[in-house]
Each structure stands twice: as structure tokens, then as C-alpha cells.
A = this chain, B = another copy of it.
Amino acid sequence: MSGGVVLFGTGSPILVDVEESLHRAGLVPAAGIRNRPGACHLSQEIRAVTAQEAGPELTALPFLVPLFTPAHRQIAAREARALGFTTPFTLIDPSTPAPRRLEIEEGGYVNAGCTLGGGSRIGAFVFLNRGASLGHHARLGAFVSIGPGVTIAGHVTLGDGVVVGTGAVILPEVTIGANAVIGAGSVVTKDVPAGCLALGHPARVVREGIGGYHGLAVDPSGA
């Protein structure tokens, strides 16, 4: 891709994996946008610029938001658009085979070693971490984040902003409501309502009205 991809947001250490996935895909990171003060996890060989410095030569490029927290990803995506970025980029690590029958909206990131069942529909700005396995005919809303090593069976539905913790297992045909959070290592055998924290084996709702992951709900009006 001539010109490369802009990494919008530099505050998360997951950048190391996103940079590697870009490299594997033969893509060049054009710059990282430091939209917040604080730690910058961008590699030193990539140019870091502030939001104010992002001129038309950058905003014309596709952008990716390398943040795991759904609400942070949504806020950053909106900031990017406000600055003039128009083209969210979707990146699937080349070590993850993508089926032909997969609909994935703009802005998604799929890390290394995932497996993706066919017939799935994945919303905008979804984040699948290392080695996650997504079943066939999944329905994922916008800004869903899936932790490493998660296994999701067939016909599972996840609402906007859902977070599934590291190594959790979700059984076939389960539906999880928007902004719910599933604890790491949990085994989800039945539906979980929106905005709840569910934990354990089998997973039970332990808290309601959590807002979302880190207390922050995704806004249903989108990116």
C-alpha cells in the first residue's frame, strides 16, 4: 500500500503486535498519532506525531486504532474522523487464515494465530487477540474485543462493545448483550444480558449495570 497505514493511538503496549502484523502483511506504518500525552509504545523507527501535527498527507491514509478497550477504540476512531481521517483499515494477521465467507466491517484487527469459522459477520472496529478461535456463523457487533486464546463455538452473537477475557469459552448459540464483559477463563453456557459482568465455570452474572469494560460503554450510534 503506497503511503502506508496510520496507527491512531500510541498508548497501548499491544502496538508491538499490531506493528508486527502490519510487517507480516507487507504494509508500512506511516506514522503513529499520539492523541494523548503519556507513555508512547510506538517503535522508535516509526514516526510519532501529535493529533495537531497530522496533516492531509496522513489523514488521506487508512488508519487503524491499536487499543483493546472498546470505548477507547471508539473515542479514538471518532477523533480520527474529526481530524479528517476517512478510511478505517482492517488488518488480519497473515498467520490467521480468513475464510471467503466472512463479512468484516472496516477498522478491525485480527492478531496472529486465530481461526475464523465461515459465514460470520463481524462489525466495525472489532479486535481479536492472539490465538482466538471464532466459530462459524458468529455475529459480532461493533467494537467487540476478544482476548487471547478465547474459543467461541458456532452461532454465537456478541453485542456492541462486548469484551471476552483471556481463554474464555463460549458455547454454541449463546447471545451476549452489548457492553457485557466475560471474565478470563470463564465457560459461558447461556445468554448474558447487556452491561453485565459474568464470571466462572459455568459463568454467572456477578454484577449488573457495569457500563462496559473498564466501566465505559460503547455508544450505540457507532464509530
Contacts and interface: CB of A to CB of B under 8 A. Distances in A.
Interface of A: 13-14, 16-17, 19-20, 23-24, 43, 93, 95, 97, 99-101, 111-119, 130-131, 133, 135-137, 147-149, 151-155, 165-167, 169-172, 184-185, 187, 189, 200-202
Secondary structure call for the A interface? loop
A23 B100 CA distance: 9
A109 B17 CA distance: 21
B151 A131 contact: yes
A146 to B, nearest CB: 12
Contact of A169 (B19, B20, B23, B185): B185
Given A17-B118, A114-B113, A136-B14, A147 B153 contact: yes
A103 to B, nearest CB: 12
A48 to B, nearest CB: 17
A185 B184 contact: no
Given A166-B169, A171-B184, A200-B201, A113 B100 contact: no
Contacts of A147: 153
Given A133-B131, A184-B171, A17 B113 contact: no
Per assembly, the copies of the chain total 3
Nearest to A130: B115
B201 A16 contact: no
A28 to B, nearest CB: 14
A210 to B, nearest CB: 18
B101 A16 contact: yes
- Smallest CB-CB A-B distances: 6 pairs: A149-B151, A185-B187, A167-B169, A113-B115, A16-B118, A131-B133
Contacts of A167: 151, 169, 187
18 contacts: A13-B137, A13-B154, A16-B118, A17-B99, A17-B117, A17-B136, A95-B115, A97-B112, A113-B115, A115-B131, A148-B151, A148-B152, A151-B166, A151-B167, A153-B166, A166-B170, A200-B201, A201-B201
